[in-house]
Structure 1
Amino acid sequence: MARFIVRAIFAALGLWLASRVVPGVRVDDTGSLILAAVLLGLVNAVVRPVVFLLTFPVTLLTLGLFLLVVNAAMIGLVALLLSGFHVDGLLAGIVAAIITGFTSWVAGMVIGDAKRD
């Protein structure tokens, strides 16, 4: 549970950074930011694996670059479900996915891998 909380904090940091850097990403308030981070974690845990399996052939053909679109779609789904979080378009979602992915990578470096423990 502590790992989920730390990952949610880093996801919130990534979404906040994306809202500051990317013109098409907006967060209305801090509560929406926290909810968006938790919801993104849940969407990535439940929906993303299914979408990944369904789009695996396209991901192979594009040598993994299609995963950026999948990650952008997950961020877009969170924006669709949460009224205080807005993403305007695919390009904004892709750049937000890159920023959030980077912060998630940093989180993995900070808290370590659960499989190694």
Structure 2
Amino acid sequence: MKRHIYRVLVSTLAFFLAAQFLPIVAATPLHFLWAGIVLGLVNLMIRPVLIILTIPLNLITLGVFTLIINTWMIMLTSGLLPGFYVPGFGVAFLVGLMVSIANWGFKEMR
């Protein structure tokens, strides 16, 4: 449980930092926290199913296809949360990359 809370907070911070450099639209700073929570739930429920279904693509691309799955999760979060908008696949890809790097860095720090 503690790990999930940390991941939500790291994702929230990554969303906030990504919004400084990319055209992410959030109505209020609280939307970044909600986006982190929604992304955590999406990653908990939907991402494992997509990872299993795309094992052949992940094997062929040596795991790079996981970045596409992360992009889809960011786009789904954007679609589910009113007031939080990521304008396209390219921006969602960069946000997903930033969130992944932030979560990896957090995991390495523990």
TM-score (norm 1): 0.87
Counterpart of 1:60? 59
Counterpart of 1:16? 16
SS of the residue 2:46 aligns to: helix
Counterpart of 1:7? 7
Q: Which runs of 5+ in 2 are unaligned?
A: none
1:85 is aligned to 2:84: yes
Aligned length: 110
Letter in 1 for 2:70: N
Which string of whole-angstrom CA distances, capped at 9 and with x for unpartnered residues, describes residues 69-102 of structure 1?
1000001000000012111111111100110011
Q: CA deviation at 1:9?
A: 0.9
TM-score (norm 2): 0.92
Q: Contact 1:16 / 1:27 at 8 angstroms: preserved in 2? A: no
Which string of whole-angstrom CA distances, capped at 9 and with x for unpartnered residues, describes residues 54-83 of structure 1?
111112111211111100000100000001
Q: Percent identity?
A: 34
1:102 is aligned to 2:91: no
Runs of 4+ in 1 over 6 A off after TM superposition: none
Structure 1: distance between partners of 2:106 and 2:30: 21
RMSD: 1.2
Q: Which runs of 5+ in 1 are unaligned?
A: 113-117
